[in-house]
């Protein structure tokens, strides 16, 4: 039986892994930042020496994209330096490491789905720290370890775009949502299931990178429209360009790229969104490699959205 250490258990992906754990014949150690500080190498080493760990699934990350612009040191410590330490420990102890990364390592200026070997060029501190974590892991090169890049993650756990749209759909008669940012959402439960399916099959000498999101292609506008339709909400969704969204955020202090809700408006006279991080305009991921190497089937985004909405309804 495989012994699996999951970090970042309280996040969307970690929570889904925990909920799915009973369906797999593994033994788990679920940790959060209160029970295991992954930025503290000694703490991680002590934990692993006290527990027989075969695989680490690192879901822990500094995911506050906009805060990372001002809290660079903290973002770097979690997204880069902590990953470096995990990779070093994994190599020393011959432990498999599955690390979760992001589409933000790309600049979003591509014209076709990104493959794992396409050039990286982050637009944000968040994206750069995640890329630095990837590079550190690749340089240390723990055997039988992989990096999974994903995008637009949502779940019935935690805060995310789907839950925000459900709330605003009940409060507002209409909303403006960006149509010129294109990608694919990822239902965290689908990603969690795929990870648990593939961990016994990982067999590589060098760290491999894989892309994972649900199948299909859409904009945030399309995503919001489908959420309203499936939830039977009457809120009208209007398509707007990113530049219009920025102007709205400037004037109202409410909306920002990627569906976040801004806390404060931008200073007078400053053109731009109150949230400083730049999002990729195009972040569609090519999933051929992970499907071919592990034989997994990735669900279509609409099917997964329906399942998530049902979960949210059940929890309520």
Residue 260 has pLDDT above 80, yes or no: no
Residue 270 has pLDDT above 70, yes or no: no
Residue 217 has pLDDT above 60, yes or no: yes
Q: What is the pLDDT of residues 136-165, one digit of tens each?
A: 999 999 999 999 999 999 999 999 999 999
Strand 27-30 and strand 174-178: pairing? unpaired
Per residue, the 3-state secondary structure of the chain, as one string, reads CCEEEEECCCCHHHHHHHHHHHHCCCEEEECCCCCCCCCCHHHHHHHHHHCCCCEEEECCCCCCCCHHHCCHHHHHHHHHHHHHHHHHHHHHHCCEEEEEEEHHHCCCCCCCCECCCCCCCCCCHHHHHHHHHHHHHHHHCCCCCEEEEECCEECCCCCCHHHHHHHHHHHCCEEEEECCCEECCEEHHHHHHHHHHHHHHCCCCCCEEEECCCECCEEHHHHHHHHHHHCCCCCEEEEECHHHHHHHHHHHCCECHHHCECCCCCCCCCCCCCCCCCCCCECCECCHHHHHHHCCCCCEHHHHHHHHHHHHHHHC
Q: What is the pLDDT of residues 227-256, one digit of tens each?
A: 999 999 999 999 998 777 655 544 544 444
Higher-confidence residue: 250 or 168? 168
CA distance 79 to 86: 11
Q: Which pLDDT value is given to residue 254?
A: 46
Q: Which pLDDT value is given to residue 243?
A: 74
Residue 267 has pLDDT above 90, yes or no: no
pLDDT-derived band at 278, boundaries 50, 70, 90: confident
Number of other residues whose CB lies within 10 A of the CB of residue 137: 27
Q: What is the pLDDT of residues 9-59, one digit of tens each?
A: 999 999 999 999 999 999 999 999 999 999 898 999 999 999 999 999 999
Q: What is the pLDDT of residues 74-104, one digit of tens each?
A: 999 999 999 999 999 999 999 999 999 999 9
Q: What is the pLDDT of residues 170-202, one digit of tens each?
A: 999 999 999 999 999 999 999 999 999 999 999
* Domain-wise residue ranges, the chain: 3-159+185-214+283-299
Residue 257 has pLDDT above 60, yes or no: no
Q: Which pLDDT value is given to residue 161?
A: 96
Active site residue 282: no
Residue from 28, 104, 126, 187 carrying the catalytic annotation:
126
Q: Which pLDDT value is given to residue 246?
A: 58
Tokens of residue 209, six digits: 């990178």
Q: Which pLDDT value is given to residue 66?
A: 87
Q: Which pLDDT value is given to residue 279?
A: 84
Q: Which pLDDT value is given to residue 264?
A: 32
The yes or no reply on domain 3-159+185-214+283-299 and CATH 3.30.870.10 is no
């Amino acid at each position: 039986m495989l012994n699996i250490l999951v970090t970042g258990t309280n996040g969307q992906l970690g929570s889904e892994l925990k909920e799915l754990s009973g369906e797999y014949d593994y033994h788990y150690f679920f940790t959060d930042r209160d029970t295991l500080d992954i930025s503290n190498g000694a703490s991680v080493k002590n934990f692993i020496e006290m527990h027989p760990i075969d695989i680490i699934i690192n879901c822990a990350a500094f995911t506050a994209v906009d805060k990372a612009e001002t809290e660079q040191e903290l973002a770097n410590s979690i997204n880069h330096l902590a990953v470096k330490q995990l990779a070093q420990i994994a190599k020393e102890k011959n432990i498999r490491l599955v690390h979760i990364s992001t589409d933000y390592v790309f600049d979003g200026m591509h014209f076709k789905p990104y493959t794992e070997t396409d050039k990286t060029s982050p637009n944000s501190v968040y994206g750069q720290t995640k890329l630095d974590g990837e590079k550190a892991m690749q340089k240390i090169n723990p055997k039988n370890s992989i990096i999974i890049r994903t995008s637009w993650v949502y779940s019935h756990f935690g805060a995310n775009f789907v839950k925000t749209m459900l709330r605003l759909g009940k409060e507002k008669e209409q909303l403006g949502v960006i149509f010129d940012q294109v990608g694919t959402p990822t239902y965290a439960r689908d990603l969690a299931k795929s990870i648990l399916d593939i961990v016994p099959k990982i067999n590589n000498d060098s760290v491999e990178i894989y892309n994972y999101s649900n199948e299909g292609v859409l904009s945030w506008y399309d995503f919001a429209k489908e959420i309203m339709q499936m939830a039977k909400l009457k809120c009208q969704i209007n398509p707007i360009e990113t530049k219009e969204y920025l102007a709205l955020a400037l004037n109202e202090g409410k909306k920002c790229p990627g569906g976040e809700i801004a806390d404060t408006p931008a200073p007078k006279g400053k053109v731009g969104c109150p949230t400083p991080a730049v999002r990729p305009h195009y972040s569609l991921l090519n999933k051929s490699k992970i499907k071919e190497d592990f034989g997994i089937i990735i669900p279509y985004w609409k099917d997964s959205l329906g399942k998530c909405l049902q979960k949210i309804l059940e929890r309520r």
